[in-house]
Structure 1
Amino acid sequence: MNLLELNKSPKVRIPNPVHHTDDLRSEINTFIKNYLFNLYHGRFSHPEIVVTKMMGCINYFHPLLKPPYVFYNDSTKILRFDDLLLFTSVDYHGESYEIVFKTVFIENPRIARVTEKNQIFITGFTDGALYPEELLTALKTGAVKTSNIRNKILSLDPLKNNEIDLLTKLEVVDVSPVSLSDIFLPENKVREFRRFIYEIMNFEAGSSHPCPRFLLAGTPGTGKTQIINAILNETKGKITAFLCSGNNIQLDKIFEFCEQMEPTLLIIDDLDQVVGDRQGYNSAVSLRTFLNLMDGMLTKKNSIFILATTNVKGHIDAAASRPGRWSMVLDIDEITSDNYLRLVRRETEDNEIIGCFNEKILDELKSKKVTGALIVSLIDNLTSLKKMKGEITGTDFRGYFDLIYNGFYKSNSESKISEVGFGN
């Protein structure tokens, strides 16, 4: 067969195939592999993509081809591929392509961390296989849309901080069934949270309209976590939510992941622990990264909604809390005394327990500026005691109130809980 005949013949290898090489972020690399694996096994279908073969090679020293070596994460429903090389044969628009995934681990002694580098190589093997970049775009789109963690509530597992791949640290979680109507907030604050929910529910990809970013500030026990749970409940299934906290999180990796799952609700609990001040190298790096991310210097899409919390606004560096980086900074105040009895009736239907909160007790709660979280804790303990004893006496109530109140307040001011993080 001469060269002219070779070029005319369909489905045969051509002398100068078209190539495309690209670096992949760890998450999208895993998503694409999962997508191809599910296409190969018939769990998914695509009108223009057919996977005809998948083979793996566990490392570079033993180049033995075999079925891919995978592990299943029962929480995220995502497969982890341990092969350093993965070979996939694909028909796209009726033309044949070969795809190679390559993973290498690079040790960086300067930061004492091992980084993962993922590459994809796509080669066209028939005369019409001229669009490897278009194929990669189609794979990325399909992989993200069909991901098992899309539109789920995700949390970083603190026990897996040493894992390199962000996906291996994630777990799918649920939140308590609370709504904004269950929380005692001023109407002007409720209106803003309703607006935040509205923006999520009416998100349009590619819009220049900025996604809102709210910072919630208030002492522990004022209901910040309940507000976040209420927003999560009302937007469940409409957006991918990502919960993180602590001072050992890689903000750049998290923002990159959020971009892939467009749209995303990023929730940062205790923001002051992440970007508190400029003291120390790690703190300065985290703060600088956060500022760049919030300013859009390290992100490309306008698709990340943000909710963050802090117990004390003053603990956050001024540059990280100025207007422009946040749509709103909302002070979440303690429950007012007028709502104490409403809170009790919301938490229990037991008339015996409700009756313990007489006018004298309510006045005492008011004078001591007791938080809603402490009242909830008191009711939970009284409910447990009644199950054991069969009744609640005035002496029981007094004893439990003093015990719980002193436990939270005694070492602090008589009017505030300063550091105990109960029921944020």
Structure 2
Amino acid sequence: MTGFAVAVTGIGLVTPAGIGVKENWDRVVEGRPTAAHHADLAGLPVTMACRVPGFSPRELGLRGAQQWDRYSQFALVAGREALAQAGLGSHDWADGARVAVIVGSGAGGTATLEEQHRVLIEEGPSEVSSMTLPMGLLNMAAGQLAIDIGANGPCLAPCTACAAGASAIGLGRELIRSGLADVVVAGGAEAPITPLYLSAFARMRALSRRGDDPATASRPFDASRDGFVLGEGAGILVLESEEHARARGARTLARVVGYGASADAHHVTSPHPGGKGAELAVRAALADAGLTGRDVRYVNAHGTSTPLNDVIEAGVVRRVVGADALVSSTKGVTGHPLGAAGSIEAAYAALAVHHGVVPPTANLTELDPRVDVDVVHGQARPGRVDVALSNSFGFGGQNAALLIAS
């Protein structure tokens, strides 16, 4: 391994699998799905989703949270957990200008924007909230987190659809490599379970229609999969230069050793039929790390449970990584949290490396015969994981791949 590595010293998770790293990891390793019908979605084309359970901003200590969209609330809770695990206190930096924040999102504060658009139409422009843009813009989770922790370094908000969280982590590593930051708080946040997003995805026929048994609806790589289940949440990682982490005696949970990004340059929603862009991103990450596909023990697949993605991604994994690596998609548990998916799944990949356990693919009962890789299902598989690959592919043909090592 000859690439540049950054230490992961803290992880924070707010997902449908739970609030906090322990609750998340326990549920993902058990492979217990989270999809369910929700009464407030009645009347929409699809009424099932994967929601963060028991999320109460006030109980979680977010003062003034009524002025933040739900996606920003998720980011702050996950960010605070990640910093606490890293042993870093907010507003307690030797040099805040050396601390950066990068939080990606695909939908941003869409719940706020949708509600205020309703107010505009039904009640008139004078009733639109003055907080609409401070709550709804795509950069506000990053901005609110930087304010919350007193980080004065670069503050960025990549919007690469479902690759946004992974893009944030990759860009965070590049900030450290370039010397512009010692610490980067990076990840993704999303709260897209709204009438507009559910209706739009349903019109695209992207969502599962297995309404008779929602818990089994998200079934990556299964022969009977028929679409994804919309999810939400945030995953935040604390990244540090290895020198910075060593100097303060921090524990390293895992290391980000490679990052690759690409564009399909093919279609705004459909993946390239040959997986061209996805393969470019994975090969770029391997080259960046000075590794080959044979070095990868585990692949946390993008694995959306859609007919096209899963087969195409499996082909890329087979060609580039080979048949020996273990593959799973944690979206069987969490559903698809869009722009937060990449960072949540990078966190799961880091935990797989740290604990030596590969989580299973929930709801997989009959492997699609076109999927010619070793997909872990039924139960978790223990074993040493020296290197894990985490894939993220987004609308617009935007792809990101992260390599995470021990």
User: TM-score, with normalisation over the residues of structure 2?
Assistant: 0.25
The structure whose Rg is larger is 1
- Relative contact order (C-alpha < 8 Å, sep 6+): which is higher? 2
